[in-house]
Amino acid sequence: MPKAQAKRKRPVTTLPKSVPLPPIHVNGQDKVVIDSKAVPDVPLAKLGRSSADTRRRINRFHTLIKEYSKLAARKPQTSDPEQLQQLDLQCASISQEMAQMGGLDWYQKASLLGQSKQRGGDTSRWLIPKLQGLQLHQRPGKLRLLDVGALSCNYKEKWIDPLPIDLNSQAPGIMQQDFLDIPQANFTGKQKAFERPFDVVCLSLVVNFVGDPVKRGDMLRKAAQLLVPQGYLFLVLPLACVSNSRYMNDERLLEIAKYLGFSQLFSHHTAKLAYYLYQLSRPPMQPTGRIKFSKTLLHKGAKRNNFTIVV
């Protein structure tokens, strides 16, 4: 009998063995900041041999960000020198791994690759037909759209006036701006780009990137504050955030949205993503200082994740 041919092993994508550790800290709002200039440029071709490989590494980066945020949040509450030293060592270990992956620059380029046509496209392709179905492309004047966490300028329709922003701009035309630092919706004109409210705010795959559940809720509240009356919020989450979480599901998310003044117009699940389009149906709920939606166990299961939104 002929010998069975041995299966060819797929080459393993390895990370650089020696990459300088970039400065990394958590600023006053508990956000991880990585100096991407301290690491070498990462060609897109080196980011992943397949979409699954790229996604696996992006998910790992998400996990590291969340772990770092939790550790950093514990530091101000810790007075024991030994415990502080242990927290510092854990933070250093996490930051080293993120540096070896290429830092925030690598993450954004990998996400940009994931938006290419070869990798399935970007989420704007779901939103545009929905806005057209609402006849918003026929209204007088252009639709003001704020695209948060933009990696490229995806909204090029003539009837849309887009403002793409990101913490670490990767392309010309994308404003470097922290979403939570945008002035409140009194629109005093101190920043020209934000002197008027927006018709649409897009939070596509950015809420899940924030490690703090309270900050996730702040992002949804901020979106409501930046919208015109009857404006629209486009939210995209990894499907696992609502389908495989101990603390979140579609029903819980809808309750939070209604509390903040939104009504849900459309929702859609794919194999990997959950899409939502909300309309601001009443003035946004102002902060009361009390937690309305806390981290509440909804589903048990050892294999479920801990994603939640606190408002």
What pLDDT sits at residue 49? 53
Query: Higher pLDDT residue, 118 or 209?
Result: 209
Least confident of 52-61, 229-238, 282-291: 52-61
Q: Averaged over 168-190, what is the pLDDT? A: 78
Looking up tokens 């949804």 gives 220
Helix (H, G, I), strand (E, B) or coil at 74: helix
Least confident of 37-51, 113-127, 145-159, 215-229: 37-51
Looking up tokens 């690598």 gives 106
Q: Taking a C-beta distance cutoff of 8 angstroms, is the pair 62, 16 a contact?
A: no
pLDDT value at 206 more than 50: yes
CA distance 263 to 261: 7
54: left (phi over 0), alpha (psi -120 to 50) or beta: alpha
Q: Taking a C-beta distance cutoff of 8 angstroms, is the pair 68, 95 a contact?
A: yes
Report the Cα–Cα distance between both ends of the chain, in Å, rounded: 67
CA distance 227 to 279: 10
Cα distances (angstroms) measured from residue 308 to each of 13, 54, 71, 210, 287? 32, 24, 18, 11, 19
Query: Higher pLDDT residue, 184 or 177?
Result: 177
Both tokens assigned to 62? 């998400």
The helix-helix angle for 51-74 and 81-100 (nearest 10°) equals 160
Least confident of 13-17, 44-48, 63-67: 13-17
Both tokens assigned to 107? 């993450």
**Cβ-based burial of 153 (10 A; exposed 0-12, middle 13-18, buried ≥19):** middle
R_g over Cα of the chain: 21
CA distance 67 to 72: 9
**Cβ-based burial of 89 (10 A; exposed 0-12, middle 13-18, buried ≥19):** exposed
Work out the percent of the chain whose per-residue pLDDT is above 90.
Answer: 48
- Model confidence band, residue 91 (pLDDT cutoffs 50, 70, 90): confident
CA distance 119 to 50: 9
Least confident of 161-170, 188-197, 257-266: 188-197
What pLDDT sits at residue 145? 98
- On average, the pLDDT of the chain sits at 79
Tell me: the pLDDT tens digits for 53-67?
A: 666 777 777 678 778
Q: Taking a C-beta distance cutoff of 8 angstroms, is the pair 180, 222 a contact?
A: yes
pLDDT value at 115 more than 90: no
Across 118-197, the runs of DSSP E, i.e. the strands, are 143-148, 160-166, 175-176
pLDDT value at 311 more than 80: yes
Tell me: the pLDDT tens digits for 247-284?
A: 999 999 999 999 999 999 999 999 999 999 999 999 88
Both tokens assigned to 292? 């309305």
**pTM > 0.85: yes or no:** no
